[in-house]
Amino acid sequence: MILANGKQYESSMQSELLAGLEAKLNATLAGPPLEPETVIAAIDALGRRVEAGEFDDKIAALQIDGAEQYKALAVRLLRRDSLEFKLRTELGPAFRPDYITEPPAGLRPLRVLARPLGVLLHIAAGNADGLPAFSVAEGLATGNINILKLPQADNGLSLEIFRALLEQEPRLADWLYVFDTPSSDVGALQKMAGLSDGIVVWGGEAAVAAVRRFAHPGTKLIEWGHRLSFAYLSGRRPEAELAALAEHIVSTRQLLCSSCQVIYLDTERMEDVSAFCEGFWPILRSAAEARRPRTLGAVAELSLRSYTDRLEAILDGGALKPWSSPLCSLLPREDSALELSPMFGNVPVKRLPRRELIPVLRRAKPYLQTAGLGCEPEEREELIGLLTRAGLTRISYPGSMSAPIPGEAHDGAYPLRRYLRIVDVEL
């Protein structure tokens, strides 16, 4: 399905709609700008409707695992105070819309304007429900026109959100276009890219490389590539902290860039890895049992991965047998490399003494994101220093690795600043 001009169209209308899109975009850009207050008021009102349960039936119909968790998260992020805090934090006083600066040496003063790039093309990944809507919301908040290419794995949640948003504020219709264009339709993507001032791409190296091939010269590329995150535990950890980590692993299904892919232990001894797995296993298994997936596809995925883990252990000669059930597993490993886990509650456990933190993690420096740090309070600053020097861009507690905070940086950068350009006007 396609959403354009505030209306929904069949996918077969794509060519016709794209043919007239340039004129529509130019007409919108020639008119009054989109004010942040218009966007904030609409999103805040939508959030209150979500909180009141107005969309519970639609959310249930989408059959999203963990739907209640997504609803609670959405309500928190859609609040006016969260949105205003994000704008203040990311844009700050130096990026306020209009101010005067006095250059040295008697030069003319400058009026400095922060203005939208113009038109953003969002190419979203399908690894997180609601990610396309989140990306577009950032584009709207900075006053840009937004063209969204839906991921093929989108379950319909994004269109439901956009329809509700336009119902709340019809004036946003001219600033939002959604296409379900497949990635194989390069001609349509080139057309969208040619109309855009910036391309926001979420995905791995292959997705980013594909966008670079069809992006026009001079178009700003805003890349949010795949990242790897991990938990780092030093010393004996409280059961409450381990329970929070287990809940994080199971609830995110390890599909997010901020999800725990590997549990690292601050030790050199494999005996400590085995002891940790033995103690953590009932905690992880309990969390997985409490969050049994509802959809048939997710159940099949879990069964297949569990079976694969058991086969690998047999081929390994049984030296490093996993703690395994159909719902989750702990996979002790003798190496220390940061890697993508099998996901869906299956997590490798490895040794990484702190003296080896930097040499090991620097090998994965392009992909580092979040470290869930569990340690004694007196050790925290030392370990934070090592992790940041290794290249991590976010350090949290183990149970809150994927908990979003309004105004936080994304992969070490403030996204809203990347969706603006600075205009200097000589006075």
CA-to-CA separations, 215 to 145, 187, 193, 201, 222, in angstroms, rounded: 18, 12, 6, 11, 11
Sheet order of strands, 98-101 included: 98-101, 110-116, 420-426
Asked if residue 172 has pLDDT above 60, the reply is yes
Provide the residue ranges of all domains of the chain, joining segments of one domain with +: 2-226+411-426, 228-400
**What kind of fold does domain 228-400 have according to CATH?**
Aldehyde Dehydrogenase; Chain A, domain 2 (3.40.309)
CA distance 416 to 89: 10
8 Å CB contact between 324 and 340: no
Q: For the residues 156-181, what does the mean pLDDT come to? A: 91
**341 φ/ψ angles, rounded to the nearest 5 degrees:** -75, 170
Measure Cα distances from 427 to 99, 105, 183, 375 in Å.
12, 15, 47, 55
CB-CB contact of 395 with 388 (8 Å): yes
Both tokens of 421, joined, read 């350009």
Please answer whether residues 78 and 43 qualify as being in contact, where contact means their C-beta atoms are separated by less than 8 angstroms: yes
pLDDT score recorded for residue 275: 96
Within 8 A by CB and 6+ apart from 57, the residues are none
**Reported pTM:** 0.86
Q: Which fold has domain 2-226+411-426?
A: Aldehyde Dehydrogenase; Chain A, domain 1 (3.40.605)
Q: Give how far Cα 381 sits from Cα of 212, 360, 376, 384, 385, Å.
A: 40, 20, 10, 5, 6
* DSSP calls for 240-296: HHHHHHHHHHHHHTT-STTSEEEEEES-S-HHHHHHHHHHHHHHHHHHHHHT---SH
Q: Which of 81-95, 121-135, 255-269, 411-425 has the highest mean pLDDT?
A: 255-269
Query: Which pLDDT tens digit goes with each residue over 51-98?
Result: 888 877 777 766 666 667 777 777 888 889 989 999 988 887 645 557
Q: What is the mean pLDDT of residues 22-41?
A: 95
